[in-house]
Structure 1
Amino acid sequence: AAAATPRPAAAPSVNLTVNFASGSAELTPQATRTLDELGRALASAELSAFRFRVEGHTDTVGDAAQNQSLSERRAAAVVQYLTSRHGIAPSRLQAVGMGESAPLVPTGDQVPEPRNRRVQVVNIGA
């Protein structure tokens, strides 16, 4: 009989979304409250060994190149906040702009959808 191979434990996850105003990469008061919670979590012993991808997203308003740039600025704003305010090592955070390529809520072109203007934080392992 073959021995069962234990499955590795799932990495601790952080599932949160930071929303932005249309056309903006400026953190709102609500965003900073969310990021303060995230900063405390990332500094915890449970998550201190893990790295995270910080994915910036936009809605479909504007052209694709502008949205790509905006999504990169959003991700960078979150990384900058976490490193400067919470002392999270920059090597643990990878900022990535996704543009309008991965909407949370699928819409047609040029549709303002606040839920798509966001940054998502994804645990990418140790």
Structure 2
Amino acid sequence: MLGSLRRTKERGRGAMRAFIVLLSAAMIAAAVPADAAEIDDHPLISRYPGSEPTRREGSEFETYPLIVGVKPDSLEFDSIELEGTFTRINYENPPDRSALEILTNYEQAIAGAGGEIIYKCVEAECGPSFAGSRWGRFNGSIHLPGVGGYVAGKVATVQGPVYIAIGVAERRHQIALLEAGEMETGLVEVDPDALGDELDRLGHVAIPGVFFDVGKATLTAESDVALQAMATILDARPEMRVWVVGHTDWTGDFGLNMRLSDERAKAVVAALTGRFGVDATRLQGHGVGPLAPTASNAGDPGRQANRRVELVIAP
């Protein structure tokens, strides 16, 4: 069987160098019909032979909570928040193959590429069948009833790690990939004068160009332009006190989003006071997670707009 992960040179932003995995041909002899796919596979991972693609979606930069644990008793998930290029593809299973056989082949492909299996559950380990829809509500995964299972893995590439989540149910399966490369920056101009005017007029302003490491509150070097703009705004208003407020979209665990947004706001405060000379008595950092969206969370453009850092005039 041609390995699920194959070498390619993908064009465009977020492109990753891929890799080849050869699995034993004895695993499966089925071939993909020539007319099977109007929807392309992801360049980094091919479909299980005989599967029919039904839907593909994604974005060049997305936040995705990767499920890394299931708590059947409480019907809750453990997850890690990832950011990067996101792709999700749904497939119909070949009729003569079991869900566990399909899941096992994908798992072996990840391991064969030198990848790490982060988490795996099968059948009842994934939770009770009556609660299968909670997978979809959590991060858009397919529903996982008592048949099949789920595996999450991580494969290192030259341009960064690729996280792979595969859920296999009785009749269909889904592959989600998060290529955790750096998003392209330097595309947004930060004008301190215009932002300061908006702050004066509205009492709050979102500052573009504030970037963090994936799933962390660590500011990247690309954020220095935005941080300098904030310092300039505050230097021009020496009597003004502000709240630095972190926002997320609604994707993933609510508690994690609240904590991460708060930690990121405080990281901005620490950078402004420690590196840019802003008086610490003028700043407080707070996170409100997904509680104050500026756009609809139903689509990717809205979710991107909701992930932001704002300055808010404090009394």
TM bin (shorter chain): 0.7 to 0.9
Give yes or no for contact 2:206–2:308 (8 Å, CA) kept in 1.
no
**Distance (Å, rounded) in 1 between the aligned partners of 2:215 and 2:302:** 10
Q: Which has the higher strand share?
A: 2
**Distance (Å, rounded) in 1 between the aligned partners of 2:215 and 2:250:** 11
Specify which of 269, 272, 278 is matched with residue 79 of structure 1.
269
Specify which of 217, 225, 232 is matched with residue 25 of structure 1.
217
Sequence identity percentage: 35
**Equivalent residue letter for 1:35:** L
Matched, 1:41 2:233: yes
What is residue 105 of structure 1 aligned with on the other side? Answer: 295
Q: Which has the higher helix share?
A: 1
Is the partner of 1:53 in helix, strand or coil? strand
Aligned residues between the structures:
112
Larger radius of gyration: 2
Matched, 1:63 2:253: yes
Matched, 1:116 2:297: no
Deviation at 1:28, TM superposition (A): 3.2
Give yes or no for contact 1:61–1:112 (8 Å, CA) kept in 2.
no
RMSD across aligned C-alpha pairs, in angstroms?
2.6
Residue by residue over 1:4-56, the C-alpha shift from the partner in whole angstroms, topping out at 9 and shown as x without a partner, is xxxxxxx8366342444563323234422011111122123xx1011001111
**Equivalent residue letter for 1:49:** E
What residue ranges of structure 1 are gaps of 5+ in the alignment?
A: 1-10
Matched, 1:12 2:203: no
**Equivalent residue letter for 2:305:** R
What residue ranges of structure 2 are gaps of 5+ in the alignment?
A: 1-198
| Change over 3 Å in CA distance of 1:74–1:20 after alignment to 2 | same
**Distance (Å, rounded) in 2 between the aligned partners of 1:91 and 1:76:** 13
Residue by residue over 1:107-126, the C-alpha shift from the partner in whole angstroms, topping out at 9 and shown as x without a partner, is 14xx982222211001224x
**Distance (Å, rounded) in 2 between the aligned partners of 1:93 and 1:74:** 14
1 or 2 for the larger relative contact order (CA 8 Å, sep ≥6)? 1
Give yes or no for contact 1:57–1:98 (8 Å, CA) kept in 2.
yes
